[in-house]
Amino acid sequence: MPTSVPVNTALTVAVCSIGRPDLFRALSLIAADDTSLIAELIVVDNTGGSMDREAVAEAVGSLPVRVLDGPGPAAVGRNLALSQARTDVVLFFDDDCLPEPGWATEMAAYMSAEPEVAAGFGRVEPVPLPNWRLGSEVVPLLGENAWGEVETPDGDLWCPAVSGPSWQPGVYTGPPTIPVSVVGSSNNLALRRSLLLPDRPVFLPHLGPGTAPASGEDTELGYALMREGRKVAYVPQAKMVHNSWLGTDRAEQKMRCYLRGNVEALGYHALRGDDHAARLLAAYLGQFRVGNGRGLDEFGDIFAWGYGSLTGGTAGTSSRQAESG
């Protein structure tokens, strides 16, 4: 990257990787695109040291890159990347996502033009498969959840954590809610370090992949930013595709993780006296109760399913509606 790029325009691109093969393809796509606004790329190695660092260097070409030894959980790895970054804005993606042309440049331009935005969430679509379709549902008080679905000769597939069709570009102006229902997820997320919340970890280390809930770290952060009046925005021009088509068994496991992560993320605030978070949690669980497609009418059974003590059933469309995010 030319050294003349202004610091307030450049950003750091960061990824926490568990060694998925798409990592190297994503790095190559980033390096082959316009890198003029990328100051550095940080890869947090959450594989326990098995990452091929020569392959990382080969994939990024001349783009400056650092590989950091990760602690395991994604939230802690992201906090590490934020603490090590040399730019104010850090743009995160997941290692099962692939950038579209202009991804980093578009996000860098938006964050530079909107200096009061603390978090910018880019657009995410599924990696396209023949005849795939977008499913979505509006959940009262929360917003619109979306997912990809497709029927194949080998069974139905489901892709979570994609963008909702009703989301509006720019700064979200509604009441605090979970970001996966109004702006997006951490698989395509820019954070401005100078506008994050003080006196707490950016991502709570007991939430997210690599922890017992296995999700919820971005839900909690997005809600906390909105609650404290920080500006969050949907930036659809910065686009990623999510290469995460899941079969029935893996989709069932992911849905359990999402339920538990959302419960624990909102519950974290509700248990600290936040009545609004408690109302959101009640709305989320109420929606799941009437649409789970598993016959789980009692909240005790819903929690037992989410926390793994009930045998999961087939993942039906109605259950996806309350859980994708």
- As a whole number of angstroms, the distance between CA 189 and CA 290 comes to 32
pLDDT for res 310: 59
pLDDT digit string (tens) for 174-229?
999 999 999 999 999 999 999 999 999 999 999 999 999 999 999 999 999 999 99
Q: Which amino acid is at 175?
A: P
CB 158 within 8 A of CB 314: no
pLDDT for res 294: 80
Strand order in the sheet with 155-159: 133-139, 143-152, 155-159
What's the mean per-residue pLDDT of the chain?
91
- As a whole number of angstroms, the distance between CA 55 and CA 42 comes to 14
- As a whole number of angstroms, the distance between CA 118 and CA 197 comes to 10
Predicted TM-score of the model (pTM) = 0.91
* pLDDT tier for residue 8 given thresholds of 50, 70 and 90: low
Sequence-separated (6 or more) residues with CB below 8 Å from residue 216: 207, 208, 260, 261, 262, 263, 264, 265
pLDDT for res 323: 33
* pLDDT tier for residue 79 given thresholds of 50, 70 and 90: very high
pLDDT for res 325: 41
Residue 259 to residues 165, 279, 314: CA-CA distances in angstroms?
Answer: 22, 16, 16
